[in-house]
Structure 1
Amino acid sequence: MDRNSAIGLTLIAVLLIGYFYWFSPQPQPVTPNVTATRPSVSEKKDSVQAAPSVPDDSVLQATYGDISVAMKGTEAPTVIETADIKVTFSNKGGSIKELELKKFQSYDQKYSKKVNDPLKLVSSEASELKLLSQYQGREIDLYSLFYQVDQKDVGDTTVVTFTVTLSSGSSIAHTYKIPKSGYEISYSIVSKGFDTQLTGENLNFQWNYTVKPLEKDLTDTRNNTTITYYTDEDGFGELPARATSTETEAFATPVKWVAVKQKFFLASFISKTNFAGGEVQSIVNTSDSSVVEKAAIKLSIPKKSLADGTANFKFYVGPNDYQVIGDVSERFKENVYLGWRPVYWINKFVIFPVFHFLTQHIANYGIIIIILVILLKLVLFPLSYRSYLSMAKMKVLKPELDEIKERVGEDMTKVQQEQMKLYQQVGVNPISGCVPVLLQMPILFAMFYLFPASIELRQQPFLWAEDLSTYDSLIQLPFIIPFGVGSHISLFTLIMTISTLIYTWQNNQLSSVQGPMKSMSYIMPVIFFFFLNSFSAGLTFYYFVSNLVTFAQQAIIRRFVDESKIRAIMEENKKKNAAGGGKKSKFMAKLEEAMKASEEARKRSEDDKKKRK
């Protein structure tokens, strides 16, 4: 192996490492998932005692006028339960106070007997809604008023309406429509003369949302938690997911929707027309393990939309599931990241439909992954065959290639020229084995994005892994290994690495590669172990099974590849070329021209140096 080849291989390794570091959802060392502690009884008493006293009726009347009648009352919940959610409204504010996902559990809830709380994406402790406007020159929060409640069923939908009616006859109502299944809640604000008493062009919707830990790996959760949004001008956008401090984005143009995106869940507010503008902010405190991230959302609702009946919205609070969120709103499904193009197209149109079809018929996700590997290997079998055949040709040529190196010596340019001449004589393209491998790379990367983003794998056990959506931590370490390994060894990642090393050794027996390049081929699987140790167990299990199927494929192909026949064909090609009947391929001709040009440039450079001396 010459120095230039070694440098080239090193650059390839650096590029691969850089790709996994900068463009992949790379986990960091694991931070223990500490569940937030509940305040003690004494703390609750202190908070109640510290609450500001409510002014008496005369003061309220003098300050706020007619609307003061809605500023005092007794808070009472309204609970609606469907097949998928349990949502709690309050007559104080006429807004959502809590929302529980009935079909999902947090990691602590599922695997710890000490935690029995349901998975609530919205709770009174972690979510605060405000709808601010100006009434008689004073700021008022419409989500702090006490409303009259009306509940009725319309077909399969439950309709809950919260209304405040003033003495003048004007009124404002918040109406929610909750279907019998699903995670969308329609919401509208209806005004009958009430809007004329509000000043300013817009109402300000504010949502302060605290993301609590729901998964095993807090650091991975932080790396996949952010605020996403869609504007007519810029399309889909998001705040940096890996931010470790405060990130802010202001919208000067209309906004369609804003969502707080976690790895597997979403809490979003969507307009059926557009919000006039707004601002989003995310705050991360890495020292607080009880909070993933804090989000602050501000959106402007045009006041005129209350009068013309276009103040129509919806909440989507539920799983970040590609199959579920596709029809929620424009480009809403991009909250599930399936990779860059063309990887995205492969995932969207090929891998994901097959994967989803299998999930509809097979309950065991480990078996689904095995079947997916076999299907893809069958489709890619022609490419695998051509790659193996190319390696077999290079193995046959190895003695002659070694003889050229011994005969020519240290002149690597001359060695390469002689080797190219040999390739031309026997009719072998030296890079024909690389092309099938390159064609398979998009599928390799498609899996890299698919499995970590698939909520279907969440909390699905297989063999020793309790959850295929995160790493298996069967082997715990008393210390932390840097570079993303953490304080555990994933057994799936370990056996994947071992199988890859065996596969590499097997290929090197067929290859003519020697020296640093051969050594580097063994180093790369070890490097990938560091990167993948804290990734989805489903992903590393897929790569492991893929290696096993590849071993079987090569064993089958080996039965149909006769090296003696390959040698005979090469000798026949050599005779034809010697007799002038051979035909040089365009690729070989261009490669030969490039090598000649490189040699001429080298000689000119050497001549110039001699002249200077």
Structure 2
Amino acid sequence: MEQKKFDLNSFIGMLLLGGILLWWMNIQKPEEATNPNTETNTEKTVSLTSKDQKIVDNNFENDSLKQAAFKNKLGAFAYSGLAGKEGVTILENNFLKLTINNKGGQIVEALLKEYKTHDSLPLYLIKNNNASFNVNFGTTDNRILNTSDLYFTPKLSKNGDINVLSMKLKVSETKFLEYRYEMKPNDYRVGFSIKSQGLGDIINSSQQINLNWKLSSFSQEKSLKTENTMYSWYYYKADGEVDYLRPGNSEVINDLNWVSFKQHFFSSILTSNKKFNNATLTSTDLAKDDDKEHVYTKLYELNTPLALTNGEFNYDMQWFYGPTDYNLLKSFKGTDLDETADLGWGIFGTLNRYVFYPVFNVLKGFVGNYGLIIILMTIVVRILLSPVLYKSYLSSAKMKVIRPEMEEINKKYPGNENAMKRQQEIMAVQRKAGVSMMSGCIPALLQMPVFFALFKFFPTNIDFRQKSFLWANDLSSYDIIFKLPFKIPFYGDHVSLFPILASIAIFFYMKMNQSQQANMQAPPQEGMPDMSKMMKYMIYFSPIMMLFFFNNYASGLSLYYFISNLLTIAIMLVIKNFVIDEAKIHAQIEENKKKPVKKSKFRERLDAAMKQAQEQQAAQQKARSKK
């Protein structure tokens, strides 16, 4: 067989034919449509402060079918509607970072830069679609539109040191609905306005226009019970008064100035220059105290009609996304937003505003450790209350001196038939000695407002949040020295040390106070309960109650009660051993007995009533003896 040889001419010919074929196929490809105003038929939408870019299909201008469909669905808002650009704009200052979406022109992320969650994650008030803001309105061509479904055109600019973001929902260049955001460098407040231009003949003013804002609040703190049940509230100001809405309720409110979606230490607030009328406020619980997998605590919602001015939107509002800090909110003059800090009602709130916060602010100015601030505050409070404690102990010493005389009266007038006479004589002895049973109660009553005021002060003061002291890593929440593998009813699944120390301190304080209280009580009388026995039970009941109740409470509060009881014990020892002289008290009482006692009008009426009751009792006994 003849061997084939390589044919060079045939190989070159085949290469030429292949090249001609590729050239012919290439020139037969259809030309791509080009837009003279753009480089390609796709358009880049760029976050105005971010390097990230998102490519979005936008063939609206070249697709007549799309134009017809959007025109049919959205009418005048067709172009700025579903054909708008995807994208976000970031407004940012030293405290706050807001991400605003073109779709709906609304805030989709609100990050507080200076704070973390209890597990050290970035603290967002808005993220992952937990909030929505929408204006619902009708048009003159019988369409109902929602701004949350439509695309706004963003434009970022600066006005001095203020960042300004204009979000326009355009009908044309001269006709639009605008959301305008204005952010200052160091502020949690963001100016917000809803205004329109040239829409008087497009928006149907005869139909109700509704603003709807809702937010599912994230759980940010370690204790769900204290965060959700005790300190998360829907606050609002209407008719010049601040009030709150209980969870699970819905109310219709008029003359509404602002609403605050409060989450223990943080709040999302919307204020308006025009009052809302016929506004529906709704608060819903989303978590239970034993829900360990919870993400949200409450659902807050505002649904209110908006009024047009000459056929146009014209609302100046303001957002606040930040800490519920009393000192900060108080600086917003004329708003009453500081009342959302939850300092307590009546005298308790007054004490916090005008006593404890001023003292705290002074101490904060030169002491950096917040545990030491609590100790110093405790010392200040105990010093201020020491005159009350002295009065109480002095009354106890006086009662101790006259106690033998009261026991003699009990022996002199035995039996129930002499109860009135016995009581009258005992009161006469006390009056001559210059002592009163009420003198022992009044000091305790005077200390109660302080107790309840501080009960609000420590758990709501954001300055204590995530501040550590000794073994407690967060003075605004409970400390943990041991995690239990099970949950004890009313106690919890952990052991806190500060409540244990406070319970021990209150036990020894009540032990010391037992003898003082025994002196303050008149000798037991027939037919009357023996209060000394009740006091013995209280010595054990109060520390146990403290232990269970405060195990899930702020460790700063337990630290205060621990130090407070230690200081009270120390002050009582000083008064007993170095201030009170029972011999001098006895001599003074003897002098008082020699002086005539002038009766008040009330005392005269009381003595007359007791004498009359005594005579009636004697007459009844005489009548019974005749039978």
Q: TM-score, normalised by structure 2?
A: 0.80
Partner-residue secondary structure (3-state), 1:311? strand
2:210 to 191, 204, 208: 204
2:77 to 45, 64, 67: 67
Preserved CA contact (<8 Å) 1:261 1:267: yes
Residue identity opposite 1:281 in structure 2? T
Residue identity opposite 1:64 in structure 2? L
Q: Quick one: structure 1 residues 598 and 56, their matched pair in 2 at CA, closer, same or farther if it must change by over 3 Å? A: farther
How do 1:71-470 residues align onto structure 2 when only pairs under 5 Å count?
71=81, 72-108=83-119, 110=120, 116=121, 118-135=122-139, 136-167=141-172, 169-200=174-205, 202-223=208-229, 224-232=231-239, 235-240=241-246, 243=247, 246-251=248-253, 253-286=254-287, 289-304=294-309, 307=312, 310-326=314-330, 327=332, 330-411=335-416, 412-470=419-477
Partner-residue secondary structure (3-state), 2:167? strand
Structure 1 distance, partners of 2:467, 2:311, is 46
Structure 1 distance, partners of 2:307, 2:172, is 25
Structure 1 distance, partners of 2:304, 2:251, is 12
Structure 2 distance, partners of 1:594, 1:544, is 47
1:519 to 528, 533, 536: 536
Structure 2 distance, partners of 1:495, 1:418, is 45
User: Could you tell me how far 1:456 is from its partner in structure 2?
Assistant: 1.2
Q: Quick one: structure 1 residues 424 and 146, their matched pair in 2 at CA, closer, same or farther if it must change by over 3 Å? A: closer
Partner-residue secondary structure (3-state), 2:585? helix
Preserved CA contact (<8 Å) 2:164 2:183: yes
Preserved CA contact (<8 Å) 2:90 2:100: yes
Residue in structure 1 matched with residue 496 of structure 2 by the alignment = 490
Structure 2 distance, partners of 1:530, 1:381, is 29
Structure 1 distance, partners of 2:619, 2:80, is 92
Structure 1 distance, partners of 2:556, 2:621, is 56
Q: Quick one: structure 1 residues 160 and 601, their matched pair in 2 at CA, closer, same or farther if it must change by over 3 Å? A: farther
Q: Quick one: structure 1 residues 504 and 194, their matched pair in 2 at CA, closer, same or farther if it must change by over 3 Å? A: same
Q: Quick one: structure 1 residues 469 and 596, their matched pair in 2 at CA, closer, same or farther if it must change by over 3 Å? A: farther
Preserved CA contact (<8 Å) 2:112 2:124: yes
Q: Does 1:57 align with 2:62?
A: no
Q: Quick one: structure 1 residues 503 and 598, their matched pair in 2 at CA, closer, same or farther if it must change by over 3 Å? A: farther
Preserved CA contact (<8 Å) 1:189 1:306: no
Preserved CA contact (<8 Å) 2:308 2:314: no
1:537 to 555, 574, 580: 555
Residue identity opposite 2:138 in structure 1? Q
Preserved CA contact (<8 Å) 1:271 1:312: yes
Moved more, 553-562 or 488-497: 488-497
Residue identity opposite 1:322 in structure 2? Y
Preserved CA contact (<8 Å) 2:378 2:564: yes
Moved more, 403-412 or 214-223: 403-412
Aligned-pair identity in percent equals: 32
Partner-residue secondary structure (3-state), 1:186? strand
Q: Which segments of 5 or more consecutive residues in structure 1 lack a partner in the other structure? A: 1-54, 111-115
Structure 2 distance, partners of 1:273, 1:259, is 16
How do 1:3-22 residues align onto structure 2 when only pairs under 5 Å count?
none
Preserved CA contact (<8 Å) 1:429 1:588: no
Residue identity opposite 2:585 in structure 1? I
1:499 to 505, 508, 511: 505
User: Could you tell me how far 1:57 is from its partner in structure 2?
Assistant: 3.0
Q: Does 1:548 align with 2:566?
A: yes
Moved more, 174-183 or 147-156: 147-156
Residue identity opposite 1:107 in structure 2? H
Structure 1 distance, partners of 2:219, 2:476, is 15
Partner-residue secondary structure (3-state), 2:450? helix
User: Could you tell me how far 1:310 is from its partner in structure 2?
Assistant: 3.7
User: Could you tell me how far 1:350 is from its partner in structure 2?
Assistant: 1.5
Structure 1 distance, partners of 2:493, 2:325, is 30
Residue identity opposite 1:393 in structure 2? K
Q: Quick one: structure 1 residues 493 and 302, their matched pair in 2 at CA, closer, same or farther if it must change by over 3 Å? A: same
Residue in structure 2 matched with residue 596 of structure 1 by the alignment = 611
Residue in structure 2 matched with residue 37 of structure 1 by the alignment = none
Structure 1 distance, partners of 2:333, 2:433, is 60
Q: Quick one: structure 1 residues 465 and 594, their matched pair in 2 at CA, closer, same or farther if it must change by over 3 Å? A: farther
Residue identity opposite 2:126 in structure 1? V
Per-residue Cα deviation, 1:359-403 (whole angstroms, up to 9, x for no partner): 232221111111112222222232222111111112223344344
Per-residue Cα deviation, 1:561-593 (whole angstroms, up to 9, x for no partner): 11111122223333x16xxx4555667656544
Partner-residue secondary structure (3-state), 2:439? coil
Q: Does 1:567 align with 2:572?
A: no
Preserved CA contact (<8 Å) 1:277 1:300: yes
Q: Does 1:480 align with 2:487?
A: yes
Preserved CA contact (<8 Å) 1:184 1:314: yes
Preserved CA contact (<8 Å) 1:195 1:303: no
Residue in structure 2 matched with residue 557 of structure 1 by the alignment = 575
Preserved CA contact (<8 Å) 1:365 1:462: yes
Structure 1 distance, partners of 2:392, 2:276, is 55
Partner-residue secondary structure (3-state), 1:467? coil
Per-residue Cα deviation, 1:477-498 (whole angstroms, up to 9, x for no partner): 444343x432334322222122
Structure 1 distance, partners of 2:581, 2:591, is 16
Residue identity opposite 2:134 in structure 1? K
User: Could you tell me how far 1:119 is from its partner in structure 2?
Assistant: 0.5
Q: Quick one: structure 1 residues 584 and 481, their matched pair in 2 at CA, closer, same or farther if it must change by over 3 Å? A: farther
Residue in structure 2 matched with residue 30 of structure 1 by the alignment = none
Q: Quick one: structure 1 residues 425 and 62, their matched pair in 2 at CA, closer, same or farther if it must change by over 3 Å? A: closer
User: Could you tell me how far 1:161 is from its partner in structure 2?
Assistant: 0.7
Structure 1 distance, partners of 2:352, 2:151, is 49
User: Could you tell me how far 1:445 is from its partner in structure 2?
Assistant: 1.9
Partner-residue secondary structure (3-state), 2:343? coil
Structure 2 distance, partners of 1:131, 1:67, is 14
Q: TM-score, normalised by structure 1?
A: 0.81
User: Could you tell me how far 1:65 is from its partner in structure 2?
Assistant: 2.5
User: Could you tell me how far 1:127 is from its partner in structure 2?
Assistant: 0.9
Residue identity opposite 1:101 in structure 2? L
User: Could you tell me how far 1:196 is from its partner in structure 2?
Assistant: 3.1
Residue identity opposite 1:316 in structure 2? F
User: Could you tell me how far 1:408 is from its partner in structure 2?
Assistant: 4.0
Preserved CA contact (<8 Å) 2:153 2:169: yes
Partner-residue secondary structure (3-state), 1:220? helix
Computing the radius of gyration from Cα coordinates, the structure with the larger value is 2
Higher relative contact order (CA 8 A, sep 6+): 1
Preserved CA contact (<8 Å) 2:108 2:129: no
Per-residue Cα deviation, 1:432-486 (whole angstroms, up to 9, x for no partner): 232233223222221112112211111111122121112223244444343x432
Q: Quick one: structure 1 residues 317 and 328, their matched pair in 2 at CA, closer, same or farther if it must change by over 3 Å? A: farther
